[in-house]
Structure 1
Amino acid sequence: MRIWYQSYVDSENGGVYWTELEKHLNAVAREGTEIVVHGITPYDSYAHPLVEWRCAREMICNAVQAEREGYDAFVVGHFQDAGLYEARAAVDIPVIALGEASMLHACTLGQRIGIITINRRFIPWFHHQISKYGLRERVSDVYAMDFEPGQILGAFGSDARRDEVARLFAEQAMPMIGRGTDVLIPGGGIPMLLFSQVHAHRIEGLPVLNGIPVAVKAAESAVELKREFGLSVSRTGDFLQPPREVIDEFLEHPARHPARDM
């Protein structure tokens, strides 16, 4: 089984993070599963919907490339999941997303789920995700720390900065706990990986969910379910698959720059 893991960071800027991500994925994968990490350049360095959609287009193109290169599954290793439904509509291999998989699995661990993201500009986007996944009654709160994606990468390789991120995360968790939250999700692959060194991570008894292994295991299961039982996504509604020529046109003609159209 070969899985394409799509990070929204590239190897050049990822540094220690990229190394630790590959190590973590190799430790998580079952025997016989190969996970290949791919990045996006320019990487997702600023928390804003424009950056999300720019990265989403490349991610969708990469999902098509992964299928055509013979990969068995594609994992969107980015919590915001931008372009997820479009990627699922474009390919026949399973497409698993970090944000969606984390939220769905958290529903098996508790009744009230709280997300702590790295930047408050992500909060509206997360609420859109929660509504899209039909989890408004389960994911009750979204709080934020105050980092840009590029800044929090600096916590890898620095125990002091990692501890500072952990302190700020716990600080944001306390009001949620007071409101009855019973599961915590770090809102991003970067903080998830940062906290992955803490076995059975809990704050005041609440599990802190690392969604990276959840997404990998979901991808492995989706491949096996498709192979053995033919189970795959619906081809109506959001995941209606376009003709190949429409997909080829999407790949061949990137969005035009407004200045070039004048």
Structure 2
Amino acid sequence: MRIFWQSFIDETASAAYMARLSDYLNGIAEPGTTVEVHGISPPDRSFGRLSEFRCAILAIDNGLAAEEAGYDAVVMGHFQDPGLLELKSAVSIPVIGTGEATMHFAAQQGRHIGLVTLDDVFRTMHLEQGDLYGLSGRISHVAGLNADPSDFSACFAGDLEAKARMIEAFRLVAEPMVTGGADVIVPAGVLPGLLIGSEHGLCFGHAPVINCAAVALKAAEMQVKLCALNGLQPSRGPFCAKAPRQAIEDFRRLVANGRGASPVPRR
């Protein structure tokens, strides 16, 4: 089984993180499964909807290429899941959204879910995810670490003091959620998920901490096996109708060649 893992992080600027993520995923994968981690350049930066949209376009194009290259599944390794449904509609192999898979798994571990995201700018996006995934009534708290991806670089390069500082920053955000009624804590991002998830059995009070990287990978392995077992795919009705070949070709041509000259004249 070959899994294409699409990160929204730059492979060069965050080389230590990408190497750590690849080693971790391949270390926990089932025998016979290989996970190839790919980044995006420029990465998701200047956080906001437009950056998410730009990265989604590249991720969808990469997912289409991954299917053509013979991968068995694509994981959107970015908790906000931008472009998830569009990619599901465009390919026949399983597409796993880290946010979607993790939120549904967390809902099996507790009633009230606390999300610790990378930055407060993502708060509204996560609440919208909850609505989309039918879990809006289960998400009780969302708060940001207000950290930059580069803040994790030293942690994944082996700096134990930097790692301890980041875990402490996570704790300071998560513990008030538990006090306020959260039953389970979710690092809403693979960066904090990989950092926190490496702590075996980590809980804040009674609330377990979910490792979103592990959940996404195991969801991918499960879906590939279920697809092989009984041909399971997403509903191809109104929810996720298969994109026509022309739509896919038009999309890939736009990504490859750009739009050309702008129709809006400069003043």
> Partners of 1:117 and 1:258 in 2: how far apart?
38
Deviation at 1:261, TM superposition (A): 4.8
1:249 is the counterpart of 2:250: yes
Name 2:61's counterpart in structure 1: 61
Quote the residue 1:92 is aligned against: 92
Match of 1:177 in 2: 178
Task: Provide the TM-score with structure 2 as the length reference.
Answer: 0.93
Match of residue 212 from structure 1: 213
Measure how far apart 1:174 and its partner are.
2.2
In the alignment, the residues of structure 2 paired with residue 83 and residue 128 of structure 1 have an alpha-carbon distance, to the nearest angstrom, of 14
Structure 2 CA distance, aligned partners of 1:165 and 1:257?
A: 44
- Shift, 1:160, TM fit: 2.1
Query: Displacement, 1:259?
Result: 5.0
Residue 21 of structure 2 aligns with which residue? 21
Aligned equivalent of 2:198: 197
Length-normalised TM-score, structure 1? 0.95
Cα shift at 1:5: 0.6
Q: Distance in 1 between matches of 2:74 and 2:139?
A: 25
Identify the range of structure 1 (175-184 vs 143-152) with the bigger mean alpha-carbon deviation. 143-152
Aligned letter for 1:134? G
| Structure 1 gap ranges (5+) | none
Partner SS state of residue 239, structure 1: coil
Other-structure match for 1:108: 108
Shift of 1:161: 2.1
Distance 1:259 1:74 in 2: 33
Q: Which residue of 1 aligns with 2:146?
A: 146
Structure 1 CA distance, aligned partners of 2:154 and 2:259?
34
Contact 1:9–1:44 (CA under 8 A) maintained in structure 2: yes
**Alpha-carbon separation, structure 2, partners of 1:14 and 1:104:** 29
SS at the partner of 2:110?
coil
Counterpart for residue 128 of structure 2: 128
Q: Which segment is superposed worse, 30-39 or 149-158?
A: 149-158
Give, in whole Å, the separation in 1 of the partners of 2:151 and 2:46: 9
In 1, Cα distance between equivalents of 2:150 and 2:237:
38
Contact 1:89 1:242 in 2 (8 A): yes
- Paired amino acid for 1:163: A
Unpaired stretches in structure 2, ≥5 consecutive residues: none
Distance 2:43 2:67 in 1: 23
Measured after TM superposition, the shift of residue 257 of structure 1 is 7.5
Whether the aligned pair in 1 keeps the contact of 2:197 and 2:209 (CA below 8 Å) is no
| Deviation sequence 1:158-212 (CA, Å, 0-9, x none) | 2222212211211111221122111000110001111232111111131110011
> 2:150 & 2:122 partners in 1: Cα distance?
14
- CA distance in 1 between partners of 2:189 and 2:167 (Å): 14
Aligned residue for 1:253, secondary structure, equals helix
One-letter identity of the residue aligned with 1:13: A
Which position in structure 2 is the counterpart of 1:167?
168
Question: What SS does the aligned partner of 2:45 have?
Answer: coil
1:17-60, CA deviations, whole angstroms, 9 ceiling, x for partnerless residues?
A: 01100110111110011111111111113321111110000011
SS of residue in 2 equivalent to 1:115: strand
